[in-house]
Amino acid sequence: MLFSRNMNADITQKTEIGETNFESEVLKSKQPVIVAFSAPWSQPCRIIRSVLDEVATACAGRLKVLRVNVDDHPDLGAWYDIQSIPTLLGFVHGAVGVRMVGTASKEAILSRLQPFLGGGESSSSTPGVKK
């Protein structure tokens, strides 16, 4: 299915979060959330940002895709032991279920998130992620 740029912009418009709204947007979210801990000056973070825009489009309504700028919110990075950027954390019911460090393809991200999304793009069965 093709999406226009405007539709994609609407899906990914409100993506940056910090300490003030992390609990409400992530920990208390009714749907799974992927949070990218990143920085605007990092080339790998720029790459993953465009990939996450694709993930947000593919999983619209089933997954929230958010970003934390670790330069602006170092306490969140420290709390979640972010030692390298980009780091992606997948939250389900307020708990971290997936951790990915570095860049990844849309397919790799969706594969890791599949157990939490309840179906979707891939029809293959992926075993659950143990924490």
pLDDT tens per residue across span 20-52: 999 999 999 999 999 999 999 999 999 999 999
The answer to whether residues 16 and 69 touch, using CB atoms and an 8 Å cutoff, is: yes
What pLDDT, on a 0 to 100 scale, did the predictor assign at position 15? 86
The residues spanned by each domain of the chain are 19-117
Model pTM score: 0.79
Class of domain 19-117: alpha beta
Residue 20 Cα distances to 7, 71, 76, angstroms = 27, 15, 11
DSSP code for 46:
H
